[in-house]
Amino acid sequence: MEKITSYILPVITAVIVIFGFAKGLKVFDCFVTGASRGLQSAVKLLPPLMGLVVGVTMLRQSGALEVITKMLLPLAKLTGIPSDVLPLTVLSPISGSGSLTMFEQILKNFGPDSVEGRVASVIMGSTETTFYAVTVYYGSVGIRKSGCTVPAALLADMTSFIVSAMSVSVFDI
């Protein structure tokens, strides 16, 4: 199983190129046409990403995140999320790199097969950085009014946190 993951990307790349070649496409010309469009979207992404990164870094460096986590502590007891995993749930919707660092710390301090380690792993495996997704996806096409995206996505995140804690005990993995 460990090996499979390292095959996925190379195999997909090969399948795409072989399939194209077999259909008689000029694969390299096609690649260049597609790739040249990518840079324009990247440039469009800089301003919204800048805003997001500044906000998130400020939140982490000022100690505001710890304050929020402390305020949420009673909620954690209610939902069955281990209190040491709680900082991860606060960080995971807003910062991908931040939650990765936090996840690594939990793995180091408690071990990957502890309750904390397993709940954190399930959370990491089943959520995406919501604010990053909203910023990047809408930013790339110039959408300013996101409607109910953020509340709905955050509700999905919360569901995933609670179910993660529950399913670890149910599956007893």
Partner 1 sequence: MINYIWSAMIIFSVITAFFTGSTDALTSAIISSASDAVSLCIRLGGTICLWGGLMEIAEKSGLTGAVCRLLSPFLKIIFPKMNMKGATAKAISMNVTANLLGLGNAATPLGLEAMKRLQSENSSKDKASSDMIKFVVMNSAAFHLIPTTVAAMRQDYGSKNPFDIMPASWVSSAFALVVGLTAATVIIRISEVIKWKK
- 76-95 residues in contact with partner 1 (CB under 8 A) are 93
Q: Label residue 63 left, alpha or beta by phi (over 0 means left) and psi (-120 to 50 means alpha).
A: left
Contacting partner 1 (CB under 8 A), which of 10, 63, 74, 78?
63
The encoded tokens of residue 42 equal 């990247």
**Least distance between partner 1 and beta carbon 15 (Å):** 8
**Least distance between partner 1 and beta carbon 83 (Å):** 19
Binding flag, residue 149, partner 1 (CB under 8 A):
yes
**Least distance between partner 1 and beta carbon 86 (Å):** 16
Binding flag, residue 14, partner 1 (CB under 8 A):
no
Contacting partner 1 (CB under 8 A), which of 70, 73, 83, 112?
112
Decide if 139 contacts 48 (C-beta within 8 A). yes
Binding flag, residue 75, partner 1 (CB under 8 A):
no
Opening angle at CA 17, ends 16 and 20, nearest 5: 85
Query: By rule CB under 8 A, what count of residues binds partner 1?
Result: 103
Backbone angles phi, psi at 28, to 5 degrees: -70, -40
Q: Which is nearer to partner 1, 82 or 118 (CB)?
A: 118
Other CB atoms closer than 10 Å to residue 81's CB: what's the count? 23
Cα–Cα dist 22/146, whole Å: 42
